[in-house]
């Protein structure tokens, strides 16, 4: 089972890399505006995606000048925000996105994009990065799916954004 999951993960990371390469650069560029300007970079992870906030703030290689967004009132138009959520239809993420848009705070979002959603956070973001994870990777005997690595895919995208952001800020 683990070998099949590993094969599926390898394919997922390859897909994410090829499909989201430009969005990774765009997200890094958006965050760099705050890093080299007068703003701050805020990060908000919903549910299990809070793991990325921990990685950014307390990991071995922290994201410079990053802060946890605990209240939308913290951010203003000079700041930039990175939202991370399981799916683009997450109601809490949509509510926060609306608040950020009302305050003219640009943000990027990392999430699994749900197709044909009535309302989603992707349509409100300056930049969106799709984890490509909206269902489990492996089928069970009844046809249901399991093995839902949304945090792993989001962390992969986060690292891509961070590496690119670090390069941009260093060159500035």
119-143 per-position pLDDT tens digit: 999 999 999 999 999 999 999 999 8
Q: Indicate whether 172 pLDDT > 90.
A: no
pLDDT digits (tens, 9 = 90+) for 84-120: 999 999 999 999 999 999 999 999 999 999 999 999 9
CATH class of 2-171: alpha beta
The string of pLDDT tens digits covering residues 29-75 is 999 999 999 999 999 999 999 999 999 999 999 999 899 999 989 99
Global pTM value: 0.96
SS3 assignment for 95-163? HHHHHHHHCCCCEEEEEECCCCCCCCCHHHCCEEEECCCCCCCEECCCCCEECCCHHHHHHHHHHHHHH
> Contact at 8 Å (CB) between 167 and 25?
no
Query: What is the rounded distance in angstroms from the CA atom of residue 94 to the CA atom of residue 88?
Result: 8
- Give the per-residue pLDDT at 14: 97
Half-sphere exposure of 74 (CA within 13 A, CB side): 15
């Amino acid at each position: 089972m683990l070998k099949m999951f590993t094969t599926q993960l390898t394919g997922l990371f390859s897909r994410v890399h090829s499909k989201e390469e430009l969005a990774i650069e765009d997200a890094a560029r958006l965050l760099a505006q705050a890093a080299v300007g007068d703003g701050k970079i805020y990060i908000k992870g919903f549910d299990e995606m809070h793991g990325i906030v921990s990685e950014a703030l307390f990991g071995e290689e922290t994201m410079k000048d990053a802060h946890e967004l605990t209240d939308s009132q913290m951010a203003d138009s000079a700041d930039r925000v990175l939202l991370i959520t399981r799916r683009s239809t997450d109601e809490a993420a949509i509510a926060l996105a609306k608040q950020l848009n009302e305050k003219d705070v640009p943000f990027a979002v990392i999430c699994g994009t749900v197709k044909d959603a009535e309302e989603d956070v992707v349509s409100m973001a300056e930049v969106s990065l799709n984890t490509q994870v909206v269902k489990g990777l492996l089928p069970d005997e009844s046809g249901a799916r399991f093995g839902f690595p949304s945090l792993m895919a989001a962390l992969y995208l986060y690292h891509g954004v961070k590496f690119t952001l670090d390069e941009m800020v260093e060159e500035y």
